[in-house]
Amino acid sequence: MTVPVVERRDLGVFLGRVVRLDAGALVRIRPSGPDHLTLWASLPFDVLVARTVPGMWLDDATVRATELLESESPQRRDSEWRGSLPPERGWQVLDTVPSAVVRDLITAGQKAFRAAGTQAAGESLLDHETLRVRGDAPGAPEVAVTFRLLLALARMAFLGDRPVEVATCGPWVRLSADHGTAYHRTAAFGVTLLR
C-alpha cells in the first residue's frame, strides 16, 4: 500500500480507533479512483465505517487492522470478510444536519447509555430512532437514523464543523461527515419508510 507520508498519521488514527473498538477487526481496502483508496471496517455495533485517503492500492483486499498498523504489506484475509459493502452509486441525499445538532444528540444518547446500565438496555438504545430525515422532493422518503449510526460518528471522531449529510440507497442509510462515513443496513427488504 502506498500512502503519502502526510496521510499515514490520519490512516493510523482511523485504524487505531477501529482496533480500540474491536482488537480483531478486519479492514477492507479498495481502490477509489486512480489516486485514492477507501478503508472499510465493521464496528461491533453493526455499523460499517469508511475513510477515503490519497494513496494507491492495486485491488480489493481484506487485512487485520492491527497488522495494517504495523506493516504496509499485511497478510491478506479476504475470505474472512463477512457481509456486503454499500453500493457505490444510486444514493439519494435527503438532507444535511448541523454538526452541533448531531453532537447534542450523541451527548444525550451517551448519557442514556450510562444511565441504562444493562446490556439489554444498551442494545435497545442503539436501535432508538434518534433522528428522522425527509428529502425535499415530492415523494421523497423519510428515514429513521438510529443512535448506532450517530455513535459510530462519535467513536470514530468523524464529526467536524460541516453539516452531516444523510442519504439512502435501498436498505442502506449513510451519514457522511468531515472525517469519514458511517453506513447501516436497515432491513433485508429495504429502508423502512415513515409516512
pLDDT at 19: 97
First to last CA, the chain: 46
SS3 content of the chain, % helix, strand, coil (to 5): 30, 35, 35
Higher pLDDT, 77 or 116: 77
Distance CA 162, CA 107 (A): 18
pLDDT at 118: 67
Q: How many Cα atoms within 13 Å fall on the side-chain side of residue 105? A: 25
At 75, which amino acid appears?
Q
Distance CA 166, CA 45 (A): 19
pLDDT at 138: 83
Containing 145, the helix (H) or strand (E) segment is strand 142-146
SS3 27: strand
What is the domain partition of the chain in residue ranges? 5-80, 92-185
Domain 5-80 architecture: Roll (3.10)
Taking residues 33-62, report their average pLDDT.
90
Grid cell, residue 62, equals 481484506
Higher pLDDT, 53 or 189: 53
pTM of the model: 0.89
